[in-house]
Amino acid sequence: MRNITPSLLLVFCIILGLVSGMFSSKSVILSSIEIFKTHEWLSPQPVIYFHCQGENKIILPDVKEKNFVYKFKGIESWQPIAGFPDKKCKRCGLYELDRLKSDDVFDEWELCPDEFLEGNYVHYKQKEFNATFACTECMTRVE
């Protein structure tokens, strides 16, 4: 087909890219986490979970001990921990299940795709926790 010019092909590729971009969500992985305290005095095994507003709670089944760095490969059954469908930030937090009162909050913050410098983002809160997240698709392009 002689009629397909390179520029037409380019336009086609751009449209294809836009369409696939509309449906793909950028995955966020929890790479490591260390908690510095637990909030429940009565329970020896804390239940720690990550939650973004309007989404499901993601329980971190392995995170039980404080002052221990848990590292993850990104392919654990509960990963990815979050996703960004667009450029908007999400209100997320780290919590501990409380059987008697409302759940304890380690921290709540805006998780933003543009804060993943070189695909990584660290969220540290003194005396609470230190978590590193990865999102390779969030990488800010240097143009």
Ligand X SMILES: *[C@@H]1O[C@H](CO)[C@@H](O)[C@H](O)[C@H]1NC(C)=O
Query: Which residues contribute to the site for ligand X (CB under 6 A)?
Result: 32, 69, 122, 124, 130, 132
If the CB atoms of residues 12 and 124 are measured against ligand X, the closer one turns out to be 124
Q: Of all residues in this chain, which one has the CB nearest to ligand X in the complex?
A: 130
Q: In what order do the strands lie in the sheet with 48-52?
A: 57-59, 48-52, 90-96, 104-111
For the bound state, the minimum distance from the C-beta of residue 78 to ligand X, rounded and expressed in Å, comes to 19
If the CB atoms of residues 64 and 98 are measured against ligand X, the closer one turns out to be 64
DSSP H helices in the chain: 6-23
For the bound state, the minimum distance from the C-beta of residue 132 to ligand X, rounded and expressed in Å, comes to 5
Three-class DSSP category at 91: strand
Nearest one of 84, 79, 109 to 94, comparing CA atoms: 109
**Count of residues making up the chain:** 143
Residue 89: half-sphere exposure toward Cβ, Cα within 13 Å: 11
If the CB atoms of residues 74 and 103 are measured against ligand X, the closer one turns out to be 74
For the bound state, the minimum distance from the C-beta of residue 94 to ligand X, rounded and expressed in Å, comes to 14
For the bound state, the minimum distance from the C-beta of residue 75 to ligand X, rounded and expressed in Å, comes to 19
Token pair 């020896």 is at which residue?
44
If the CB atoms of residues 105 and 122 are measured against ligand X, the closer one turns out to be 122
